[in-house]
Structure 1
């Protein structure tokens, strides 16, 4: 008599079958379940480039890949980014400009893809199973739309943005950064793990070009005031007026398209939104 397959094995078998048989159907969330939060201070097994020039984006945006550009070597780029110290991988015809930090199950990326068809958007998610779900979701959407360029402009990778954001993006590369329903870390001793802080805001200012925007949304009022306080206190950011905020089409998508926003809607909760523009650097 064979023993019943446990849930963990079922999830592993399903995801392996997805990889082997080709991803044509949208993945099912129940096979990608993971804890709601991850310890950002743990040493996760992550791959990250030594510098932005060492990042191989062609695997995430193959439709935009160009020829190899190697300023210092003709050797092929390694798959592992951590050790690719002297190799320069295949470039893209355009750069990633929009980032969704902690993208969850990818609802915002999928909704923004047709609205910003000429812009490359990247989701960054620290939870391995959730990042894999988004990658499979994007692959399925591309397969289901073979005669269009739909969803070719979105990608997702597993990363800890609190540690490695400057490894992926050059100074002034980004135009938009989305921070949607981040972990509130209610306990005071956990506030150091919040994704908006004095130090991290400087990294967002580094990656954003002048005029770029940080979008924040949460259903936790205390966290909303925390993010507003810290971003307003930073010399590189200025809060955008409510009139301009309401006129931004990305705001309504952020308000309604993410899985977390739909959950808040079902529970009849409040959503607190604030946008901040990256200012020009003052003259030395």
Structure 2
């Protein structure tokens, strides 16, 4: 029996023990790796940020709004990693795939229900929403609402005719700059060199972003976040298992021109 199969069986035995909250299993949430962002996915979204009811996502809202957004959050690895690191910050995952979104919802619910929860914040500060960020990001967030934006292992869209579907483009950067406050940080990572160079080129050419070197990120206290960006997601772990490369690029949101 292979190591991973044996580990999965041990996990199944563990979660069936009395008093143990059952965590969702990915194999019950099968879906394609990517979705067509230009299709009509019958999504629900507010007409403006003022119409967004965040109380259904965060049980202890206290008048706050999300400040971190993980666009294309996948199975929620980054959310789970960052939740305890920033217990006083609301963190939102945005995912377009129905089954994957449901998995993250169930994962968060199970984490919140764990007995004797010791993680700071008890995961009450993380949530997920099914959304197409390429179309509706400004419908959810006010101007300068966010302090961190994450684009981790996005769909490379290898064919040239598909490049218009890439999550980073000149038009979309204007929207990201709108919702991100001055001083906020965008984190990008991929295992595809061509996509990395594409993202870097577009950010470098956009006047409201400047690249941050890794030593600057470390000096300014972003080290734990960068570590989570590298290792917390399912894609990041897969790349590590395959001894692949990870290309990181982070950008600071500059002040608006006077």
Question: Of the candidates 174, 181, 197, which is equivalent to residue 209 of structure 1?
Answer: 181
In structure 2, distance between residues paired with 1:242 and 1:60: 33
Instruction: Name which structure has the greater RCO, CA cutoff 8 Å, separation 6+.
Output: 2
Note the 1:249-264 alignment, pairs <5 A: 249-264=224-239
In structure 1, distance between residues paired with 2:201 and 2:99: 33
In structure 2, distance between residues paired with 1:181 and 1:281: 29
The equivalent residue for 2:201 is 229
> How far did 1:62 drift?
1.6
In structure 2, distance between residues paired with 1:175 and 1:205: 11
Gaps of 5+ in 1: 1-22, 65-91
1:46 aligns with 2:46: no
The equivalent residue for 1:176 is 148
In structure 2, distance between residues paired with 1:133 and 1:242: 33
SS at match of 2:60: helix
Gaps of 5+ in 2: 1-19
> How far did 1:40 drift?
0.2
Give 1 or 2: higher helix fraction: 2
> How far did 1:146 drift?
5.9
| Inter-CA distance 192–145: structure 2 relative to 1 (3 Å threshold) | farther
Structure (1 or 2) with the larger CA radius of gyration: 1
In structure 2, distance between residues paired with 1:138 and 1:256: 19
SS at match of 2:87: coil
Question: Of the candidates 235, 254, 257, which is equivalent to residue 279 of structure 1?
Answer: 254
Note the 1:126-141 alignment, pairs <5 A: 126-141=96-111
Asked if 2 retains the 8 angstrom alpha-carbon contact of 1:182 and 1:195, the reply is yes
1:112 aligns with 2:82: yes
Which stretch has the larger CA shift, 230-239 or 243-252?
243-252
> How far did 1:178 drift?
0.5
Total equivalences in the alignment: 234
> CA RMSD for the aligned pairs?
1.3
Deviation digits for residues 177-221 of structure 1 (CA, Å, limit 9, x no counterpart)? 000000000000000000000000000000000000000000000
